[in-house]
Amino acid sequence: MGRWEPGARERLVVAAVDLFAEQGYDATTVAQIAERAGVTKSTFFRHFPDKRELLMAGQDTLSRLLAEGISDAPADASPIEAIASGLERASSAMGPMNRELAPRVKAAIAACAELQERDALKSVSLAAAITHALVARGVPDATAALGGELGILAFKRGFAAWSEGDRQAEDELAGCTLAALAELRAASATLG
């Protein structure tokens, strides 16, 4: 495959995930990832600053989509309804490739403390995007912060259910994240 062919970013992500699964994160080099993807090292660095960022590809897009969904929710939407709108919008960015790679990405993260740290920072960043979008709608700070944490927890739980579920099922990520949000909302009501 020529390095000028489209899809280099996606090929780099798939190559990295495969290599991380085969030989571990620490043993995998940028040169190996580029070679497996059929691109040069310079092409790698045009797309990613380092190999750690490969597994966090799309974070900026998710943050933007979450915030846009919340912002575009009807003016009379409650904070939880606005969060649901953000989850639906962000879920639209996830497709079959995300579902296919998710178990291998999860395993790579579980096997490496550096990736666990980066994954935790990603969650904090996504929760902040939700919080800021809610504050921009006039939601009080404490409520917005709680909404941010609840929204990311729903996204993570929904994504796990979707990616670990029946691959033959035609369920969409949005349905899974919204179900997780409803479950968490019900659970929070039992806190008293």
Please give the pLDDT value at position 147: 97
For tokens 């409650």, the residue is 78
DSSP-assigned states of every residue in 13-62? HHHHHHHHHHH-TTT--HHHHHHHHT--HHHHHHH-SSGGGGGGTTHHHH
> Would you say 17 and 36 are in contact if contact means Cβ atoms under 8 Å apart?
no
Please give the pLDDT value at position 59: 81
Q: Which two tokens stand for residue 45?
A: 């660095």
Please give the pLDDT value at position 63: 93
DSSP state of 190: T
pLDDT at residue 192 tops 70: yes
For 173, the 3-state DSSP assignment is helix
> Would you say 20 and 108 are in contact if contact means Cβ atoms under 8 Å apart?
yes
Under the banding of pLDDT at 50, 70 and 90, the label for residue 2 is: very low
pLDDT digits (tens, 9 = 90+) for 71-118: 999 999 999 999 999 999 999 888 888 888 888 888 888 888 888 898
pLDDT digits (tens, 9 = 90+) for 4-37: 556 888 899 899 989 988 888 899 999 999 999 9
Exposure class string for 28-42: b at 16+ Cβ within 10 A, else e: bebebbbebbbbeee
Rounded distance between C-alpha atoms, residue 105 and residue 37, angstroms: 17
Give the pTM: 0.85
Domain chopping of the chain, boundaries: 8-53, 58-189
pLDDT at residue 1 tops 70: no
pLDDT digits (tens, 9 = 90+) for 121-163: 989 999 999 999 999 999 999 999 999 999 999 999 999 999 9
* CATH fourth-level superfamily of 58-189: Tetracycline Repressor, domain 2 (1.10.357.10)
> Would you say 97 and 10 are in contact if contact means Cβ atoms under 8 Å apart?
yes
Out of 2.170.130.10, 1.10.10.60, 1.20.1090.10, 3.30.70.920, which CATH number does the structure's domain 8-53 have?
1.10.10.60
How many other CB atoms are found less than 10 A from the CB of residue 4? 8
34: enclosing H helix or E strand:
helix 30-37
